[in-house]
C-alpha cells in the first residue's frame, strides 16, 4: 500500500494537490516515509479556526479543483475530509493523503468506478453506498467520483462548524444507521442558503443524482461572484 500511494502521488501535478517530494529512508530507520512540503497553516479546519470563515467559498472551490484534476486523471480520492486538506503558505487548499486513492475505470452511467474488498475511509464522511452496498444494488464497495462528491458535502459541514459531521457523542455505528435511513448532519447556523442547497444536492442517497465536480465548481464560482459583489 505504501508503494501504491507513493507511485500514485508522485505522478500528480496541480496547485490544489500537495506536492510529493520523495521518499526518506534515513529519518526513521525502521520505516520509509513519504516527504512533502511543510504546511505551516496546517489543516483547513485549523486554518479556519485561526483566520475566520470568510475564505470558506474560495477554499471549497480550490478543493473541488483538486478533485476535478484527480477525476480527470482517473483517480478517486476515497478519503476526503478536513484532516486531508492542508492550507499552503500562500493560503491555498491542497488535497493530501492518497492512501485510499485508486485508479478508476470507465463504466456505466456513474462514470468511473473502482471496487475494493472493504469499506475503508472515515465513517462520518462516507457515502451511504459505501456503508451497505446491497441497499444500492451494489455487490462490492465501489468508490466513485460520486462518493468523493458526497464526502465533499460533509467537508462543507465540517468547515462551517469546525467539527466532524454528526454529533461527537454519536458512535460510528449510529452514524451509519442514520445515513442509511436518509438522515444527514443538521444545517449549521452559519451556512448560506446557496451553499446549503449545494450540500443537499451533493449528499443525496442516489449516487446517480449527485452533481459532478464541474457542476460544483460552477456553483461555487457563482457563489464567490455574488459574495464579492455584495462585499
Convert the pLDDT of each residue in 188-198 to its tens digit. Answer: 999 999 999 99
Q: Could you tell me which of 87, 89, 79, 162 has the C-alpha nearest to residue 123? A: 79
Q: For the residues 122-132, what does the mean pLDDT come to?
A: 94
Task: Between 174 and 7, name the one with better pLDDT.
Answer: 174
**How many CB atoms within 10 Å of residue 230?**
6
Task: Between 164 and 101, name the one with better pLDDT.
Answer: 164
CATH 3.30.930.10 fits 41-230, yes or no: no
Q: How far is CA 77 from the centre of its chain?
A: 7
Task: Between 120 and 69, name the one with better pLDDT.
Answer: 69
Res 127 pLDDT > 90: yes
Assess contact for 176 and 131: CB atoms under 8 A: yes
pLDDT of residue 63: 99
Task: Between 13 and 98, name the one with better pLDDT.
Answer: 13
Res 140 pLDDT > 70: yes
Full-model pTM: 0.86
The pair phi, psi for residue 21, each rounded to 5°, is -95, -25
- Using pLDDT thresholds of 50, 70 and 90, give the confidence band for residue 134: confident
The pair phi, psi for residue 204, each rounded to 5°, is -60, 150
Q: For the residues 117-121, what does the mean pLDDT come to?
A: 52
Assess contact for 207 and 110: CB atoms under 8 A: yes
Rg from Cα positions in the chain: 17
Res 7 pLDDT > 80: no
Res 207 pLDDT > 60: yes
Assess contact for 213 and 145: CB atoms under 8 A: yes
Res 175 pLDDT > 90: yes
pLDDT of residue 176: 96
Q: Which residues pair with 102 in a beta bridge?
A: 76
Q: Which residues pair with 34 in a beta bridge?
A: 23
C-alpha 173/C-alpha 131 separation (Å) is 10
Res 109 pLDDT > 60: no
> By percentage, how much of the chain surpasses pLDDT 70?
77
Amino acid at each position: 500500500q505504501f508503494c501504491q500511494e507513493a507511485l500514485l502521488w508522485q505522478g500528480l501535478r496541480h496547485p490544489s494537490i500537495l506536492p510529493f517530494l520523495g521518499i526518506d529512508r534515513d529519518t526513521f530507520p525502521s520505516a520509509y516515509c513519504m516527504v512533502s512540503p511543510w504546511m505551516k497553516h496546517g489543516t483547513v479546519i485549523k486554518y479556519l479556526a485561526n483566520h475566520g470563515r470568510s475564505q470558506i467559498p474560495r477554499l471549497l472551490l480550490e478543493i473541488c479543483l483538486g478533485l476535478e484534476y484527480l477525476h480527470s486523471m482517473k483517480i478517486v480520492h476515497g478519503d476526503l475530509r478536513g484532516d486531508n486538506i492542508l492550507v499552503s503558505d500562500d493560503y491555498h487548499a491542497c488535497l493530501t493523503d492518497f492512501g485510499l486513492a485508486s485508479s478508476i475505470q470507465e463504466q456505466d452511467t456513474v462514470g468511473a468506478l473502482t471496487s475494493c474488498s472493504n469499506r475503508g475511509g472515515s465513517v462520518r464522511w462516507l457515502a451511504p453506498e459505501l456503508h451497505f452496498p446491497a441497499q444500492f444494488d451494489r455487490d462490492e464497495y465501489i468508490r466513485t467520483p460520486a462518493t468523493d462528491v458526497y464526502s465533499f458535502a460533509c467537508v462543507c459541514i465540517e468547515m462551517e462548524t469546525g467539527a466532524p459531521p454528526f454529533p461527537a457523542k454519536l458512535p460510528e455505528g449510529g452514524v451509519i444507521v442514520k445515513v442509511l435511513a436518509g438522515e444527514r448532519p443538521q444545517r449549521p447556523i452559519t451556512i448560506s442558503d446557496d451553499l446549503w442547497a449545494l450540500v443537499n444536492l451533493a449528499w443525496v442517497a442516489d449516487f446517480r443524482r449527485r452533481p459532478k465536480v464541474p457542476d460544483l465548481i460552477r456553483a461555487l464560482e457563482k457563489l464567490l461572484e455574488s459574495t464579492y459583489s455584495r462585499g
